[in-house]
Amino acid sequence: MKIIKRILFLIVAILAVVALAMKGREILKERKEAIEKAPLPQVNRVAVKVVEPKEGEVTKSVKLLATVKSDKSIKVSTKMAGFIKKIYVKESDRVKKGQLLVKIDERELINNINSLKATIEALKKDLEVSYRYL
């Protein structure tokens, strides 16, 4: 009895798959026919006036704001950090190798040097004291 139920179930399943495949094929065929029957989209035509070219000068001009960007760029950096005190060039100026572009505010640098000098002096005095106790 179990074998008969299994065989019947298998037959029903196969028939269902075949029916689905046939219906899918029918739907696919209908969609293809609908696509083939669909009208092509309309293209709007534009009228263009054709003229003969003439040699001459253009006298009409329009002034516009624009930004011109170069395909080449250079990054500028310094060996030391600091605030810029003065800028000697403007954007888009031509510069030469070794030309001074900006001046960095030296006050912070001078303060750091003075601080390091004071540290050196203090370390020298500590060294002298250490020699005395040796």
The rounded percent of the chain whose pLDDT value lies above 70 is: 100
For residue 75, give the amino acid letter: K
What mean pLDDT is predicted for residues 81-108?
Answer: 88
What mean pLDDT is predicted for residues 99-114?
Answer: 89
The closest of 129, 78, 67, 68 to 105, measured between CA atoms, is: 78
Residues near 109 by beta carbon (within 8 Å), at least 6 away in sequence: 80, 82
End-to-end alpha carbon distance in the chain: 111
Average pLDDT, the chain: 86
CA–CA separation, 17 vs 30, rounded Å?
A: 20
pLDDT single digits (tens) 35-94: 888 888 788 888 889 999 888 887 888 888 888 777 777 787 778 778 888 999 998 888
pTM: 0.35
Residue 120 confidence (pLDDT) above 90: yes
The closest of 59, 89, 58, 53 to 74, measured between CA atoms, is: 89
Q: Is 104 exposed, middle or buried (0-12, 13-18, 19+ CB in 10 A)?
A: middle
The rounded percent of the chain whose pLDDT value lies above 90 is: 24
Q: When comparing pLDDT for 106 and 80, which is higher?
A: 106
